[in-house]
Structure formats: structure tokens, C-alpha cells
């Protein structure tokens, strides 16, 4: 059997009856309409990004745009926050896997962000099954039977509010061609989810609003026109996860003012973007990634300005990710890790953040207690904390070079985490527990670009008394030694069956590339695309 597709659409992904319920002809018509309307805008935006990067490579620094000064200084506000999502003090994030969705919605968090992006490996199976899972979650019918544990999972009566994060503009969907070109991943994820779920979501979860999204940048007016719903019903929180975007936060909110419910500190991607933006600036080498936290001046400045901007415009200022995983076999280490989480979240809530992210349900009670103790019965801090002191932050504050040292262990950890994450991603897993942290594509990107930066400028590892320079020869030796360590940690059988050698080849190549690739996953994506020509059917699960 083949999918029933409209003119101009070709599906190269495996046929499956469940997937056919998502990839209906009408849904594909809607997605194709989005693609045709916005593809030239997307191509133009991507070219503008390349031109901006060339300017940074030639010595220009990011700055506030004089042409939009009037927007930054204006007294406008965004549309009022919908009552259904006024309280977002703790949000949990995770991939669109069936068991994960149930556990996250039942976790006690205020919001679950179902992730098609950094926490998901975008295989055809993962993406389409994710759409099936979200449809069932919105309908309230989602369930899961864990055969290994002989346990059934279903939704509680009270659940978190559902937000969905689509892929970024840069990621294509090679399994679906529209007019001969790969679909834009972002438009496909948004279009299929919105088409199948907007009506039920507004009735059961949104109190007349929604669906709700976490998005980089997305134009929603056409979707609302199609559905015949009020302008401003669809709302999105924008992740500020690139260095240039921190200079455009007012402008982003202004453009989305009928659709925005805030900004989020996507701090791991933000660190990745700092290296990427300053890839041609040898005077801006980062210390070990574990030292680049929110107490670094450029990170604190970014967070403070985001809070001031959001509250001035009447929307949520969301904090960053707590990536720790409960350490079940070491009570003392677990308590120490939890104390670090609580300290970080206390800093966020006292600074004025209205909510924050957690990667694991086990963190939610402790984080919720921190926010409850500080916020009391108030749903958020939009009106109570204005952070006018942050109005004095300068361009120099936002790009100040982080302080710290570089070590051999930092190089080893980058290499070990990068290879292990990529190996999991190639086999279909995008959210990976490593060394008591939940790693996703953002932390893998930091590992990759930091290695690249240190190699390009032969950075000196000066923090552990070695005082050696990072050269291709040293890096090659580190890769060999870390591969041996990975094999020892995971076991020979798992190592041989996994994609560790393929991941190592890709990761090493990107670290040694003369020119920094934009994204680790763009090259790796070619390794997970499996084309099924029309007529080759299979309905195996």
C-alpha cells in the first residue's frame, strides 16, 4: 500500500497504517501549503544567517540594531498570557516517545515540552510515531504496556499542559518531498500536529487557546486562518539559544506579540552559539564546558536581560535546564547533585524567572519546592519583578569572554560525550543519560565546537599542570584512548553492536574540519535516512 498524497507531494518513508492516519491527504495539503508559502522566506533567512556569520568572521561583533531602536524603547506589550498557562513554574522536557509522554504529563510539572528537536533522533519511525503519540495524548487515550516490567501506563486525571517543540529551520525532512524538495522539518512537525489536534486541544487543555509551542521563529497566522479560530490563539515561547538573538529579544517579541508567551534561556545551545559566532576570534576561546555556567558574566547578563525584556512586555521569562539524573546507587552523590540543582533554581527564581526546566521527573519535587517557597500563590513574577537594573547592560556585557581554565580532562570529556551521544543518535535515541546527566544534541554540539576551536587555535591546556597544546596528533591519541574507555564502560558486545565506530569517524572529522560545520546533526542526518520507493510496502511495527 502507498500513502494517499496530494499533487506535488512524495513520501519516501516506510508505509505504516498508523502513520497513514497522520499522513492523510488533507494534512499533507496543509503542510504543502505551509511549505509553498514560506520556503522562500526560510531560504532567505538562512542566507542572511550565512552573511551575518561572514561579518562575524571578518571581525564584526554582535550588537543591538540601531534601525530597531524604536521597537526596543517603545511601550508596547504582548497579548495577555492565556489563563491555562499562567503558571509554568516547573516544566519537564523530553522526546515524543510514548512512555515518556505519559510519565512527563503525570510528573507533577506544570508543563511538558514534547520535543521533536534536540532530544529526538529524527528517524522516520521516531517522527511519525511521535505524531501518533501526541494525537493520542491530546485525545486523552494514550496508554503503554511495558512488556519487560509487565506494567501498564496511562494518564492521570490531572496532567501537565502540553507544549510541542518542532525542529529548527535548518533541518530538512528527506522522507517527504514537496515539489521535488525535502520538506522543512519545522513546518512538517508543526503542520501535522496542528492539523490533527488544534480543536481537541483548545477544548480539553487550552481553555480556548492553543495549541502551545516552543519554537525558534514561526509564522502562525495562516494556520489560524485555515482553522477559522481567533487571531492570537496559537502561542509560542521562543528559545533564545543563539548569541545574535539576545540582541533582538524585543524585536522577536514585537513580531510575535499576538502569539508570544515568553522567552526561554536555552543555555546549552547558547554556549554552542557563542563558540560558533566567534569561530574566527582566537581571543575568545572557552574554558572547559563544565566551567561555563550561569555565574559567568556573559551568561548572567543574558539571563538578566531576558527577564527584564519579558516582564516589560508582559510575558514569561523561562529559566534553563537542570540536566541532572538521580544517582540511585550513591546517596551522598545524589544529595550533592540535588543541592546544586536547588542552588541553581533558587538563583533563577530570585533573579525573576517565572519557571524553569527539568530533564528528569525525580528533580521536580525539589525544584517545585524552591519556586513555591519564593513565589507563594502567585502564578508568575511578570508583574512583581521588573529588573530595571538590567537596562544598563551593554553589548560588552553580553559577549564578555568567560573565565576559567582548559584541561586535558575537558578535552577527554568533550570527546567521550560527543562520540557516545552521536552513537546513540545514529541508532534512534536523541536523549542520552551519560555520567549522571541527560545529554541531548545541544551538549554534543558544545563538545564538538569546543574541540574544533581548541584544535584550530592550538589552545593550551593549562588547568592541570600539563601546559600542552591541542594539536591533531594529541587529539588523535585522545580519541583512541577515549574509544577504549567507552568500550570498557559499555562492554565489548554492546560496543561492537552499537554505532560507536561510525560516530567516532563523524565526530573526529567534524572536529578536525578546516571550516566549522553549522550543525553536527546535518551531516549525521544522512546516515539515518532510509528511503522506501513508492510501492514497497511494509506495515511491521
The domains of the chain are located at: 10-399, 408-526
**CA-CA distances (angstroms) from residue 2 to 7, 19, 57, 367?**
14, 11, 48, 48
- Catalytic residue, from 89, 98, 129, 165: name it: 165
* Equal fold, 10-399 vs 408-526: no
CB-facing half-sphere around the CA of 30: CA atoms within 13 A: 23
pLDDT at residue 219 in the model = 31
Which residues sit opposite 237 in a β-bridge? 214
pLDDT at residue 531 in the model = 87
Does residue 226 have a pLDDT over 80?
A: no
Q: DSSP characters for 292-355?
A: --TTSHHHHHHHHHHHHHHHHTTSEEEEEEE-B---TT-HHHHHHHHHHHHHHHHHHHHHT-SE
Cα radius of gyration rounded to whole Å, the chain = 23
Please say if 165 is a catalytic residue: yes
Among 3-12, 222-231, 325-334, 424-433, whose mean pLDDT is lowest? Answer: 222-231
pLDDT tens for 242-269 read: 999 999 999 999 999 999 999 999 999 9
pLDDT at residue 227 in the model = 63
pLDDT at residue 215 in the model = 76
**Considering the chain, what percentage of its residues have pLDDT values greater than 70?**
96
pLDDT at residue 220 in the model = 33
Does residue 541 have a pLDDT over 50?
A: no
Confidence of residue 490 (pLDDT cuts 50, 70, 90): very high
Rounded mean pLDDT of 301-327?
Answer: 97
pLDDT at residue 214 in the model = 95
pLDDT tens for 412-440 read: 999 999 999 999 999 999 999 999 999 99
Does residue 216 have a pLDDT over 80?
A: no
Longest Cα pair distance anywhere in the chain, in angstroms?
Answer: 66
Does residue 222 have a pLDDT over 80?
A: no
Confidence of residue 536 (pLDDT cuts 50, 70, 90): low
Does residue 463 have a pLDDT over 60?
A: yes
Please say if 151 is a catalytic residue: no
- Catalytic residue, from 167, 387, 440, 448: name it: 440
- Assess if CATH 1.20.1220.12 describes domain 408-526: yes
- 10-399 homologous superfamily: Malate synthase, domain 3 (3.20.20.360)
Mean pLDDT of the chain: 94
How is residue 504 written as a grid cell? 567516532
Does this model's pTM top 0.75? My answer is yes
pLDDT tens for 59-115 read: 999 999 999 999 999 999 999 999 999 999 999 999 999 999 999 999 999 999 999
Amino acid at each position: 500500500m502507498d500513502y494517499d498524497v496530494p499533487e506535488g507531494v512524495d513520501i519516501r518513508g516506510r508505509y505504516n497504517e498508523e502513520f497513514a492516519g497522520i499522513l492523510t491527504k488533507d494534512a499533507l495539503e496543509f503542510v504543502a501549503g505551509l511549505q509553498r508559502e514560506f520556503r522562500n522566506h526560510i531560504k532567505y533567512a538562512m542566507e542572511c544567517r550565512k552573511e551575518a556569520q561572514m561579518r562575524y568572521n571578518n571581525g564584526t561583533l554582535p550588537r543591538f540594531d540601531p534601525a530597531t531602536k524604536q521597537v526596543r524603547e517603545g511601550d508596547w506589550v504582548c497579548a495577555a498570557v492565556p489563563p491555562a498557562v499562567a503558571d509554568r513554574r516547573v516544566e519537564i522536557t523530553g522526546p515524543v516517545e510514548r512512555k515518556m509522554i505519559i510519565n512527563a504529563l503525570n510528573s507533577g510539572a506544570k508543563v511538558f515540552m514534547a520535543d521533536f528537536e534536540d532530544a529526538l533522533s529524527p528517524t522516520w519511525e521516531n517522527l511519525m510515531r511521535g505524531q501518533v503519540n501526541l494525537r493520542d495524548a491530546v485525545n486523552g487515550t494514550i496508554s503503554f504496556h511495558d512488556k519487560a516490567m509487565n506494567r501498564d501506563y496511562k494518564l492521570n486525571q490531572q496532567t501537565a499542559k502540553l507544549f510541542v517543540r518542532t525542529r529548527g529551520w535548518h533541518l530538512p525532512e528527506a522522507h517527504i518531498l514537496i515539489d521535488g524538495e525535502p520538506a522543512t522539518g519545522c513546518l512538517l512537525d508543526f503542520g501535522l500536529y496542528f492539523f490533527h489536534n488544534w480543536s481537541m486541544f483548545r477544548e480539553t487543555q487550552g481553555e480556548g487557546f492553543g495549541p502551545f509551542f516552543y519554537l525558534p521563529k514561526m509564522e502562525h497566522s495562516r494556520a489560524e486562518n485555515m482553522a477559522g479560530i481567533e487571531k492570537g490563539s496559537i502561542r509560542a515561547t521562543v528559545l533564545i539559544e543563539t548569541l545574535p538573538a539576545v540582541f533582538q529579544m524585543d524585536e522577536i517579541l514585537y513580531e510575535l506579540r499576538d502569539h508570544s508567551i515568553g522567552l526561554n534561556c536555552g543555555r546549552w545551545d547558547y554556549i554552542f552559539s557563542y563558540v560558533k559566532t566567534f569561530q574566527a576570534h582566537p581571543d575568545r576561546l572557552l574554558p572547559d564546558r563544565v566551567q561555563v555556567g550561569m555565574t559567568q558574566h556573559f551568561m548572567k547578563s543574558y539571563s538578566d536581560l531576558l527577564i527584564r525584556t519579558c516582564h516589560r512586555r508582559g510575558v514569561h521569562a523561562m529559566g534553563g535546564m537542570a540536566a541532572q539524573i538521580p544517582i540511585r546507587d550513591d546517596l551522598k552523590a545524589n544529595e550533592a547533585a540535588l543541592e546544586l540543582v536547588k542552588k541553581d533554581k533558587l538563583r533563577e527564581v530570585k533573579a525573576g524567572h517565572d519557571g524553569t526546566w527539568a530533564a528528569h521527573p525525580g528533580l521536580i519535587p525539589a525544584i517545585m519546592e524552591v519556586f513555591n517557597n519564593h513565589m507563594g500563590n502567585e502564578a508568575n513574577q511578570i508583574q512583581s519583578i521588573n529588573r530595571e537594573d538590567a537596562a544598563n547592560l551593554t553589548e560588552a556585557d553580553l559577549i564578555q569572554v568567560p573565565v576559567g581554565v582548559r584541561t586535558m580532562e575537558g578535552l577527554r570529556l568533550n570527546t567521550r560525550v560527543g562520540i557516545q551521544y552521536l552513537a546513540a543518535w545514529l541508532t534512534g535515541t536523541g536523549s542520552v543519560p551519560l555520567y549522571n546527566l541527560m545529554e541531548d544534541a545541544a551538549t554534543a554540539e558544545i563538545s564538538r565546537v569546543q574541540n574544533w576551536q581548541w584544535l584550530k587555535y592550538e589552545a593550551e591546556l593549562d588547568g592541570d599542570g600539563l601546559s600542552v597544546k591541542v594539536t591533531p596528533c594529541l587529539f588523535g591519541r585522545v580519541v583512541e584512548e577515549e574509544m577504549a574507555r567507552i568500550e570498557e564502560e559499555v562492554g565489548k558486545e554492546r560496543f561492537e553492536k552499537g554505532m560507536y565506530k561510525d560516530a567516532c569517524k563523524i565526530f573526529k572529522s567534524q572536529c578536525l574540519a578546516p571550516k566549522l560545520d553549522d550543525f553536527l546533526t546535518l551531516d549525521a542526518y544522512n546516515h539515518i535516512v532510509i528511503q522506501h520507493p513508492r510501492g514497497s510496502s511494509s506495515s511491521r511495527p
